[in-house]
Structure 1
């Protein structure tokens, strides 16, 4: 008899919830339209921002790089763009080769070694070449993890027979060893079995079409200019736009990187080339103390592993602090000519080299 009365509060609660949700949706729609109207362009243009960002990155990356079944990707031979020139072997040009028969110096690393955001002559391998008067091979590759850096050193050392190998890295390269895909490009990675590194994802598959990498949220919220605006303000666009696939939990990369230093030690023995492991720093280190503490911890642990393996190490942190203006040594995300000059001087000193 009282059943209808008992159901009335429930129906009223459901109605209130529906009204609240409807109000929220209506408010979000108004915010979306208002924000688009403020730019005018996007009031009539409704692209999927994630898909477009990944497409642009893919087009840029495939223009500069070629697929490599062992390493993932390498610089495109004979590639040229304003300020950037790659030779026929996929190495960035370092300027006029000094006369003499001394064995070259092989520089491997990520975008900091390659010299993103600066011209060929301003990258630190090119500046090192001018300091020591000895050929320096710039084999840095943007986007590499520490695993790819070691693999590239192992691949190139037998070919060029260097007298020294400089292995540059930033702390994020350690995190990258936990990934199977970075910025849309598949890469090799390692599993750990006991104290052994087991290679995976080799041969590395070609880069996927960015249209096939979108999940449900990318296919829906990717069209929202409001959501894109919020992610940008929160500093989360890196992961929202980036196509990354993680295969190991955070922290695993530190173990992988440490085990990889044994590979560098073996390379030092087999090649006869002295290996120098060089720590460089992301610019955010100078903006965020908590971030800096973690980066320093990861960097210090890897350098300690390298030292235990009998490798020479160089931590550029104190030298950068000593300039009293470390943040001014960057263009935006990478070092400028002055910052790269500092690294080149530190490397020359660590190798005990003087102009020949």
Structure 2
């Protein structure tokens, strides 16, 4: 998760994929970060349609699967449209929104798919994760205020800094709703269509309580997104319909089969979102 070998420090986001780096996952499959900082999704199709941007955490990036097995790469194959994989392992919703804003401003896009899991909400309460300092938001008068930037570059903060890296428990839900509202402004400012996709980690299928906990976190954000004109996709019901949802996962993250399921759900809705 957020392996320093695959990442480079970024003053606005904490860290981003290291351009041009190559590695492998546990089974030997390739991990390739292109010169533009996106994970490799295969050779670009000949389609004249504008690229689709996928942004999110490790479930969008495709942790533990090879380049072409991540769902953005599989969506590219299914649709024949270029899909830019801008996912970054370990990101919270705060970093996801900031990266979406950056990439949307840099690339001519018509559709942006934002993926998230329940744990991304808790990560908005953190000032440091995965060996990295990170940006974070506070709420002042109901307004989001960005803190922690420029993000300092250091491998291990001094003791007095570590003591200030406390988790602001209980603030994640409110901050995340405000982040969804902020995200929605991209549809008018940058004239792109936004889609929020709720994914679930493997723990969701270990018991009814675990599934309900993740749904209780994600459902209000999906409702908030819909209220602000963002299209939504909740992948829970499709997985819950399987007799053994765990077959779509490796350890915590989705395997190639699970990523294909997500890509197929997105491909089936693509025409509706693009119209």
TM-score bin, normalised by smaller chain: over 0.9
Matching of residue 99 in structure 1 with residue 76 in structure 2: no
Instruction: Report the CA distance between 1:292 and its aligned residue.
Output: 2.0
Q: 1:1-356 counterparts in 2 under 5 A?
A: 61-82=3-24, 83-209=30-156, 245-250=165-170, 252-352=171-271
After superposition, the C-alpha distances for 1:82-119 in whole angstroms (9 at most, x for unaligned) are 21000011110000100032110000000000001000
8 Å contact kept, 2:16–2:88: yes
8 Å contact kept, 1:277–1:313: yes
CA distance in 2, matches of 1:337, 1:246: 36
Give the 3-state SS of the residue equivalent to 2:243 in structure 1.
coil
After superposition, the C-alpha distances for 1:155-187 in whole angstroms (9 at most, x for unaligned) are 001211111000000000011000000122111
8 Å contact kept, 1:161–1:271: no
8 Å contact kept, 2:47–2:82: no
Structure label with greater radius of gyration: 1
Instruction: Report the CA distance between 1:246 and its aligned residue.
Output: 3.1
Change beyond 3 A, Cα 1:299–1:270: same
Change beyond 3 A, Cα 1:136–1:193: same
Instruction: Report the CA distance between 1:245 and its aligned residue.
Output: 3.3
8 Å contact kept, 1:182–1:245: no
Give the 3-state SS of the residue equivalent to 1:116 in structure 2.
coil
8 Å contact kept, 2:31–2:39: yes
User: Alignment length, in residue pairs?
Assistant: 267
Give the 3-state SS of the residue equivalent to 2:127 in structure 1.
strand
CA distance in 2, matches of 1:115, 1:347: 15
Alignment correspondent of 2:27: none
8 Å contact kept, 1:182–1:244: no
Unaligned runs of 5+ in 1: 1-56, 216-242
CA distance in 2, matches of 1:187, 1:293: 29
CA distance in 1, matches of 2:159, 2:262: 38
Give the 3-state SS of the residue equivalent to 1:352 in structure 2.
helix
CA distance in 1, matches of 2:5, 2:96: 21
Unaligned runs of 5+ in 2: 25-29
Instruction: Report the CA distance between 1:214 and its aligned residue.
Output: 11
8 Å contact kept, 2:144–2:178: yes
Alignment correspondent of 1:36: none
Instruction: Report the CA distance between 1:287 and its aligned residue.
Output: 0.6
Give the 3-state SS of the residue equivalent to 1:314 in structure 2.
strand
8 Å contact kept, 1:181–1:244: no
8 Å contact kept, 1:123–1:340: yes
Q: What TM-score results when the alignment is normalised by the length of structure 2?
A: 0.92
Give the 3-state SS of the residue equivalent to 1:320 in structure 2.
helix
